Structure 1
Amino acid sequence: MSDAMALVERVFHLQAVGDAVNGVRQRVRYEGGLLHLMGGSIPSQQAAGIKTYVSTRGRTTFVVLLFNSMTGELLSIIESDWLGRIRTGAASGVATRYLSREDARTAGVIGAGTQAETQILALLEARPLENIAVFSRTRDKREALVGRLRDRIDCRIEAVSTAREAVEGKDIVTTITSASAPVFEGAWLKPGAHVNAAGSNSLSRQEIDVQTVARASCVVVDSLPQARLEAGDLLAAIAQGSFEWSYVRELGEMLEGEDPCRVTDDEITIYESQGIAIQDIAVARYVYDVAVQQGYGEDVAFGAAPW
């Protein structure tokens, strides 16, 4: 996770200065499923690529096509379910490192699905947490997640029975669900809390309520063009007149600038994560380079003329 966070932080910097190009996600609906496509390039790493995935019949299959941006050579085809989980967690970790209070020691996580584990590992990389509370609607899932992590992390972790227990009094709150309605009330947040809203990456999803957005002094996104299209959390607040796009900053812009997002310890901050292609490409390029160096993977003849 430390490596992934370094890669993602670096690509945010590159994005801010125009040295990484990110295309907005596109979705193609068809009977029985949905095709998602997102692409971008990082010229300084000689990397360009596309991440695509199909959601159908209750399952999703992910793949990254990685190209050398200078030669056009297809370098690798990478199954990217786990890669995507790592980069999504890493992005939340980078945001937490720069947006949460330096003395943050407690966190709550709402959601115990496939993405939750890497969110927790990233929080621990960002801050020396002492206690993490995990809530999900399904008791078995939250207890299973806590059971998998308890012996792997140097932090007290517990499953709690309500969302409120995962939010009240916590320095950091992460939501990583597919919810279509808010999963907690903004009134529960303590002054100075930081929120990672990591699951609402489409118009049909909303994890945080309008009050949470309205209470925030700083709202940061990974990509403003992507957020304008699909950030259900923010679009709901804008529709009610409680928020406007002029309040939003990109994380890379904040990292490059001298104006900090958090000014006082009592301010509430939000990182609204959409998940963007240049994160996938940065991590995929690293995975490819390591695989080549260590002899992993299979060489495949691809694109050669048959004559």
Structure 2
Amino acid sequence: MLMINGKEVAEILTMESCIAVMETVLADLSEGEAVQSLRQVLPLEERNVLGLMPGYLRREGVAGAKIISVFPGNHGSGLPSHQGMVSLFDAATGVPLAIVDGQSITAIRTAAVSAAATKLLAREEAESLAVLGTGEQARSHLEAMLQVRGIKRAKVWSRTPGKARAFADAMSSRWNAEITAALSVQDAVMDADIICTATAAGEPVLHGAWVKPGAHINAIGACRAHERELDTALVAGARLYVDRLESAVHEAGDYLIPLSEGAITADHIIGEIGGLLKGHVPGRGSSSEITLFKGLGLAVQDLAAAFYIYKQAVALNKGVEVSL
């Protein structure tokens, strides 16, 4: 069995390769070739949780699970909010194949899924970006959006202005785009063609009144039924897509809270990104519509990324072989 650490994951799993892997597994999920159960979430103290996410990739012949801790309070402490591991098994024999660093996979694959959604839903001419948050997901989403649209300008917002300025300075030296700090969410998003929300918020930080017609939004921060990043008016006025319908109707507060308020109906979700990839789900209807992708993160995404990493690690002689 191979042990593959975070440094090796980052070396192997480029954003470009991960976007392709995510498109494949999302399409497979819509066709029943990738299978998963709802994640089990064990509440800990405060808002902290431990999650178990099992899945099975039929075509690849592998199964496994991600075990992950989510500690929102780690923001600003020097520790990541998401930490864990992905276990990978041969589905024909049950032989353990690998344990792969889950933090690095989560950072890359989450943004890659948003990129897949953005390729399908954002207007082709989109060139301005807003990123809400300055953590690991903010960095990876900036990279992912630059991969799929010709972004010329990006604004970043944080509850701590100094973090936004530091983020803008660091990312400006890395990417060929004008990246600046915004003093408010409204300032960050008012002219944005694409908005990525990657915050630890439990209450809305983004309001529909601030979003311009034709914008596309990737909302990935809130992952529990009672938490959300978006206000009701925004969700009600947007064309909503999800990574997995079953997950959204159990876990997505951004959908469930407006539903409980009567602002939307159960059929407000247009469909899954996998169905959109396969042509079974309609996409953007006009250049003025606001499109919204609500991503919760799926076990099959982690397994697909881990299997790609495992194959590359074997070919490149990376990882450490261990015996159980």
Any idea what SS the aligned residue of 2:59 has? helix
Residue number in structure 2 paired with 1:220: 241
Looking at structure 2, the residues matched to 78 and 259 of structure 1 have their Cα atoms a distance apart, in angstroms, of 33
Q: Give ranges in structure 1 of 5+ residues lacking alignment.
A: 303-307
Q: Give ranges in structure 2 of 5+ residues lacking alignment.
A: 1-14
CA contact (8 A) 1:231 1:274 kept: yes
CA contact (8 A) 1:200 1:273 kept: no
Residue number in structure 1 paired with 2:50: 35
Matched, 1:137 2:175: no
Any idea what SS the aligned residue of 1:191 has? coil
Partner residue of 1:20 out of 21, 26, 34:
34
TM-score (norm 1): 0.94
TM-score (norm 2): 0.89
Looking at structure 1, the residues matched to 112 and 304 of structure 2 have their Cα atoms a distance apart, in angstroms, of 12
Instruction: After superposition, give the CA deviation of every residue in 1:144-184 in whole Å (9 maximum; x if it has no partner).
Output: 22222112212111111110111102111110011011112
Partner residue of 1:244 out of 242, 250, 265:
265
Matched, 1:50 2:71: no
Q: What is the CA distance between 1:31 and its match in structure 2?
A: 5.8
Matched, 1:6 2:20: yes
Residue number in structure 1 paired with 2:8: none
Q: What is the CA distance between 1:247 and its match in structure 2?
A: 2.2
Return closer, same or farther for 1:108/1:55 CA change in 2, 3 Å cut-off: closer
Looking at structure 2, the residues matched to 94 and 225 of structure 1 have their Cα atoms a distance apart, in angstroms, of 20
Looking at structure 2, the residues matched to 206 and 147 of structure 1 have their Cα atoms a distance apart, in angstroms, of 29
- Letter in structure 1 aligned against 2:52: L
Matched, 1:111 2:133: yes
Looking at structure 1, the residues matched to 149 and 214 of structure 2 have their Cα atoms a distance apart, in angstroms, of 15
Looking at structure 1, the residues matched to 225 and 112 of structure 2 have their Cα atoms a distance apart, in angstroms, of 23
Residue number in structure 2 paired with 1:279: 301
Looking at structure 1, the residues matched to 158 and 70 of structure 2 have their Cα atoms a distance apart, in angstroms, of 22
Instruction: After superposition, give the CA deviation of every residue in 1:167-216 in whole Å (9 maximum; x if it has no partner).
Output: 10211111001101111210111111111111111124210000001111
Looking at structure 2, the residues matched to 189 and 154 of structure 1 have their Cα atoms a distance apart, in angstroms, of 25
Q: What is the CA distance between 1:259 and its match in structure 2?
A: 4.8
Looking at structure 1, the residues matched to 70 and 20 of structure 2 have their Cα atoms a distance apart, in angstroms, of 30
Looking at structure 2, the residues matched to 52 and 286 of structure 1 have their Cα atoms a distance apart, in angstroms, of 18
Any idea what SS the aligned residue of 2:321 has? coil
Q: What is the CA distance between 1:258 and its match in structure 2?
A: 5.2
- Letter in structure 2 aligned against 1:149: M
Looking at structure 2, the residues matched to 199 and 30 of structure 1 have their Cα atoms a distance apart, in angstroms, of 19
Any idea what SS the aligned residue of 2:305 has? helix
Instruction: After superposition, give the CA deviation of every residue in 1:240-291 in whole Å (9 maximum; x if it has no partner).
Output: 1111221211111121125532011001110001001111011111111111
Matched, 1:199 2:221: yes
* C-alpha RMSD of matched pairs (Å): 1.5
Residue number in structure 2 paired with 1:81: 103
Q: What is the CA distance between 1:40 and its match in structure 2?
A: 0.6
CA contact (8 A) 1:113 1:141 kept: no
Return closer, same or farther for 1:140/1:2 CA change in 2, 3 Å cut-off: same
Looking at structure 2, the residues matched to 35 and 129 of structure 1 have their Cα atoms a distance apart, in angstroms, of 36
- Letter in structure 2 aligned against 1:224: L
Partner residue of 1:266 out of 288, 291, 298:
288
Looking at structure 2, the residues matched to 221 and 28 of structure 1 have their Cα atoms a distance apart, in angstroms, of 23
- Letter in structure 2 aligned against 1:42: L
Instruction: After superposition, give the CA deviation of every residue in 1:42-71 in whole Å (9 maximum; x if it has no partner).
Output: 111122110002346846531110111122
Looking at structure 2, the residues matched to 38 and 223 of structure 1 have their Cα atoms a distance apart, in angstroms, of 13
Mean Cα deviation higher: 174-183 or 25-34: 25-34
Looking at structure 1, the residues matched to 38 and 68 of structure 2 have their Cα atoms a distance apart, in angstroms, of 14
Report sequence identity in percent: 36
Mean Cα deviation higher: 257-266 or 93-102: 257-266
CA contact (8 A) 2:275 2:281 kept: no
CA contact (8 A) 1:27 1:36 kept: yes
Residue number in structure 1 paired with 2:85: 63
Matched, 1:101 2:123: yes
Residue number in structure 2 paired with 1:305: none
Matched, 1:229 2:250: yes
Looking at structure 2, the residues matched to 160 and 31 of structure 1 have their Cα atoms a distance apart, in angstroms, of 33
